[in-house]
Amino acid sequence: MRSYESLNTCKKIMEDKVENMDHELEIKKLWRHRDEVEDHGDNLSAVDILSACNLVNYFGKMVLGGSGVGQITVYPILIRKGSTSVALYGLGNIRDERLNRMFQTPHAVQWMRPEAQEGCQVTDWFNILVLHQNRVKTNPKNAINEHFLPRFMDFIVWGHEHECLIDPQEVPGMGFHITQPGSSVATSLIDGESKPKHVLLLEIKGNQYRPTKIPLNSVRPFEYTELVLKDESDIDPNDQNSILEHLDKVVRNLIDKSSQKGTNSSEVKLPLVRVKVDYSGFMTINPQRFGQKYVGKVANPQDILIFSKASRKGQSEGIFSALNSVGY
């Protein structure tokens, strides 16, 4: 397989070494914001060195040009094998608010298409975009809308998000599908990380593709739940022991749930357990002291519990809903 990359890496040495190289198994690495190194004048990272040694094909780092919001031009890596032609675009991390504005500014984001050649027209290319940006739209200005992406894309690999949504989903009206691999291990003890982890094998022939999801069986088990103490009937707000007993029951159930899940890994790993507790109107307990009894049973005994209170906005909405239900 031959591949080349044009003008979208920041270091000339990498351009020279990547161009027209033969690989039995080529590894491509998208630039992310965590790859940035600011302690040295040349911003040289470990991945830069791997790329300079031809161990990875490092792509997707954008150099912002122009004035105002800025401009970027995204060039593809072109891969051809037999009758199949793949254009692989990479868009490394740019601050979400800025990239959001760029997508809404005419000509701020330019996408370069392969030139038509004899026996290979522009429409013959299977176009893949790999990007590393926020997708969850808790704040629309701090995420990238799927409809900002170009319609000529066939397949999107969406990085940066934690939750594994591996099955390709079609975006209505856009003509492409999106897969979100998520993190391969639990990097944060949140609900999205507790979902099963997979990788996706993508087989491409011409303009058709076949996805095969492969479960990751060696990932440390992780169980997550949330509870609101005031909604639990067996808890007395004035009796701390009743709170402890209920939380113990919840944690034990999560440990049992984890042990019942089959694994193909030869090494049995202690599970991660996280219980997010809304303690509005109740007293808290010491999470470290609570976790001491689970040493040797879970991998994170010191922070099984995390306490939070309902926001004032959420409380107000609940009161308003209750008043409506009784006819006020």
Residues 174 and 151 in one domain: yes
Name the average pLDDT for the chain. Answer: 82
Please say whether the beta carbons of 117 and 124 come within 8 A.
Answer: no
Residue with tokens 């793949």: 86
- The Cα 179–Cα 276 span in angstroms is 28
> Which pairing describes strands 125-132 and 155-159: parallel, antiparallel, or unpaired?
parallel
Residues 195 and 232 in one domain: no
Which of 172, 188, 215 terminates a domain? The answer is: 215
Residue 154 falls inside a structural domain: yes
What's the pLDDT at 95?
Answer: 86
Which of 215, 249, 280 terminates a domain? The answer is: 215
If pLDDT is split at 50, 70 and 90, which confidence band does 29 have?
low
Residues 71 and 119 in one domain: yes
Looking at the whole model, is its pTM more than 0.85? no
If pLDDT is split at 50, 70 and 90, which confidence band does 234 have?
confident
What's the pLDDT at 321?
Answer: 47
Residues 144 and 32 in one domain: yes
pLDDT digits (tens, 9 = 90+) for 114-141: 988 887 889 999 999 999 888 876 778 8
Residues 264 and 286 in one domain: yes
Q: How far is CA 210 from the centre of its chain?
A: 22
What's the pLDDT at 33?
Answer: 53
Residue 323 falls inside a structural domain: no
- The Cα 258–Cα 287 span in angstroms is 21
Domain containing residue 269: 222-313
pLDDT digits (tens, 9 = 90+) for 274-318: 999 999 988 888 999 999 999 999 999 999 999 998 766 555 454
Dihedral Cα 90, 93, 99, 100, nearest 10 deg: 100
pLDDT digits (tens, 9 = 90+) for 247-275: 999 999 999 999 888 666 667 789 999 99
Does 73 score more than 50 pLDDT?
yes
Residue 101 falls inside a structural domain: yes
Could you tell me which residues come within 8 angstroms of residue 59 by beta carbon, excluding any fewer than 6 positions away?
Answer: 5, 8, 9, 28, 29, 30, 31, 77, 88, 90
How many domains would you assign to the chain? Answer: 2
- The CATH number assigned to the domain holding 305 equals 3.30.110.110
- The CATH number assigned to the domain holding 141 equals 3.60.21.10
